Structure 1
Amino acid sequence: MKRNEFIKISGIAGLSLAIFPQFSFKSFSEKFTRNQLIGKGNPDIVGDSYTSKMHKSAKEAFHKMKIAAEKENINIEVVSAYRSFQRQKEIFEGKYKRFTNQGLLPEKALERIIEYSTIPGTSRHHWGTDIDIIDANAPRPANVLMPENFHGNGPFCKLKMWLNENAEKFNFYEVYTDNGNRKGFKYEPWHFSYAPISVPMLEEYKERINVIEMLSEEKILGNEHFSEEFVSKYVKENIFDINPKLL
C-alpha cells in the first residue's frame, strides 16, 4: 500500500472512532477466524467450566441479568454454556455409534440426532454466546431441559415468565421458539443467545463456512452419509430457522 493511501485510510478510521466509539479496525478486516466460528478456540472466551465459559461480553451481560432476577427470588443457573468443537464431536459421535449399533441406518441415525443435537462445527454454543438456563431456586426434576418444566405447573415457570418480560433488556433472546411454522431443532425454552455477538457471528458463519467441506475436512464420524441435500436442509432449517430477532 502506498504511503498516501495508508494515511487516508488511517484518517478515515480515526475519524470513525471519534464519531462512533464502537467502531474499530475490525471493520476493515475479518471479524472472526474459522476456528472461532466452528468452536476450535476463541481468545474472548472466559471461565473455567462448561457452565461458566462464555464470551466475555456475554458473561458480563449474563451477570447483570442474574442480579436482576435475584430481586424476584429467581436464581438463574447455567447448565450449559460454551461447548468446544471437540466436546460437540464427542456428543455427536457417541449418539451416532449408539443409534447405528441399535440397527438404525446411518441416514436415519443422523435424522434422529439432529432432533436436539447439533452437528459439530455448527453449534451456537461454539461461540460462547448461548446458554441453557434453569432456576436453581426451584425443585430440580431428573431431566431439567424439558419444555414441560417451563410451562403449566413446571418448576421453571416463574423463570420463563421473567425471561419473557426481561431477557431482551439484557440482549438475550430465545433461539428455538415455540413457533409451529419453525422447522429444525425442537422448541427449547431454556436456550438463550446474547445477540450483540451471536448475530454478527452467524452472519460471518453464513458467508465463510461451507458446511459440507467443513464436515469432510474435520473427519466427523458418519460424514460420508452427509449428502448435499441433507446438509442443505440442515443449514436452512437447523441453523437459520430461528428467532428472527437473531438473524
Structure 2
Amino acid sequence: MKGFQKIFGQFQFVVISLLTTAVIVWLAASLQLVPADPPVSQEQSPQQPAQSPVETSQPLPPATNRPPSPLYESLPSISNTPSPANAPAAPVTATPKNYYGHLAYAENEDNRLVNVGEFVRGTYRRSEYLDQEAAAAFTKLVNAAADANLTLQPISGFRSVNDQKELFDKQVQKLGSVEAAAKLSAPPGFSEHHTGYAIDIGDRNQPDKDLKVAFEDTTAYRWLTNNAKNYGFELSFPRNNAQGVNFEPWHWRYIGTSRAAVQFASARNL
C-alpha cells in the first residue's frame, strides 16, 4: 500500500509539471500573436495629416467703367487689368509701326483716368477724361486761360481702341476709303487719344471753330501757342509735321513728365 502511494505521488508531480509547462507555452504563444508596430522605412515617410484647403486670393475688382467717349454713342468699354498708378509706360520701339502717318499707341488704363471737365454745346454735356498726370496739368492750363478771359474746354480726351474703331469706320463709310479716312482720323490702335495724354481743345464761346482748322484764327489758339508749353503741352500736328498728318490746331499732347514723354518719343524723334 505504501509503495502504491509513493508511485501515485510521483505521478501526480509529473502531471502538475506537465500542466505547468503547457500553461507557460500557451501564454508565450499568445503573447507572440500581438504584432509590434512596424518600423518606418527611410524611403517611406509617415502619412501626413490632411491639409486644409489653401485660401485663394480675392479676384481683382473690375476696372472703373469709363463714360461714353466723345463724338459718338456709348460703346462697350474694354476690360483692362488695373495696374498701379505709377506703373511705367510701355517701351517705345526703335521702329514704330506706321499707318498712313499715324503711329501705334497703347491704350491707357481705367484706374489712371481723371475727369477734366465737360464738353458743353447747348443742352448737350459730356465729361472728358485724361491720365492723372495730364489731368492735373490741363486743369492748371484752363485756370490760367480763365485769368486771360478765355473759356477753354475739353472736346475729346481719352479714347479707347474700340471707340476709335467706331469713329474711324464712320469716316471710311463717309469718305469711301481707308486712306481718305486716315487723313482726318487715326485708325484704331493709332490714336494719341488712346494714351490719355492727348486732348482736343476748344473755346466754349466759339462752337463754330470746334475741330476745324479755323480754330487757328481764334484768340484761344494764339494763347495756347504762347502758353501751353508752360504747362507741359505741345501741338501734336503742326503744319508740315514729320508724320504727314493734317494740321490740327485743336489737338495737343502732354509731355510734362517722363511717363508722358515716353508715350510720344517715337513721334517727336521722327
**Would the TM-score normalized by the shorter structure come out above 0.5?**
yes
Q: Does 1:190 align with 2:255?
A: no
Q: Does 1:201 align with 2:268?
A: no
Q: Relative to 1, partners in 2 of residues 1:93 and 1:140: Cα closer, same or farther, differing over 3 Å?
A: closer
1:178 aligned counterpart, secondary structure: coil
Map 1:55-134 onto structure 2 (within 5 A). Answer: 55-100=131-176, 109-134=177-202
Q: Relative to 1, partners in 2 of residues 1:183 and 1:58: Cα closer, same or farther, differing over 3 Å?
A: closer
CA distance in 1 between partners of 2:140 and 2:214 (Å): 27
| Matched residue, 2:75 | none
CA distance in 2 between partners of 1:46 and 1:122 (Å): 22
Q: Does 1:47 align with 2:115?
A: yes
| Matched residue, 2:35 | none
Contact 2:215/2:250 (<8 A) preserved: no
Q: Relative to 1, partners in 2 of residues 1:75 and 1:182: Cα closer, same or farther, differing over 3 Å?
A: same
Q: Relative to 1, partners in 2 of residues 1:60 and 1:113: Cα closer, same or farther, differing over 3 Å?
A: same
Q: CA deviation at 1:139?
A: 3.2
CA distance in 1 between partners of 2:89 and 2:108 (Å): 16
| Matched residue, 1:178 | 239
CA distance in 2 between partners of 1:149 and 1:192 (Å): 13
Q: CA deviation at 1:145?
A: 1.3
Larger deviation, residues 43-52 vs 73-82: 43-52
CA radius of gyration, larger in: 2
Contact 1:41/1:84 (<8 A) preserved: no
Q: Relative to 1, partners in 2 of residues 1:118 and 1:139: Cα closer, same or farther, differing over 3 Å?
A: closer
Q: CA deviation at 1:98?
A: 4.0
- Paired amino acid for 1:31: A
| Matched residue, 2:207 | 140
Contact 2:238/2:248 (<8 A) preserved: yes
Map 1:159-178 onto structure 2 (within 5 A). Answer: 159-178=220-239
- Paired amino acid for 1:114: A
- Paired amino acid for 2:192: R
CA distance in 1 between partners of 2:197 and 2:215 (Å): 23
Contact 1:44/1:56 (<8 A) preserved: yes
Cα deviation 1:163-211 (Å, max 9, x = unaligned): 11110000000110123x64521101111111124321234xx6xxxxx
- Paired amino acid for 1:139: Q
Cα deviation 1:137-162 (Å, max 9, x = unaligned): x3321x621112322xxxxx211111
- Which 4+ residue blocks in structure 1 deviate beyond 6 angstroms? none
CA distance in 1 between partners of 2:206 and 2:88 (Å): 46
- Paired amino acid for 2:143: I
CA distance in 2 between partners of 1:68 and 1:202 (Å): 25
Which ranges of structure 2 fall in alignment gaps of 5 or more residues? 1-84, 93-103, 119-125
% identical aligned pairs: 25
Which ranges of structure 1 fall in alignment gaps of 5 or more residues? 1-25, 101-108, 152-156, 207-239
1:90 aligned counterpart, secondary structure: helix
Contact 1:77/1:135 (<8 A) preserved: yes
- CA RMSD in angstroms comes to 3.2
Q: CA deviation at 1:39?
A: 2.1
Q: How many residues align?
A: 166
CA distance in 2 between partners of 1:37 and 1:81 (Å): 14
- Paired amino acid for 2:179: E
| TM-score scaled by length of structure 1 | 0.58
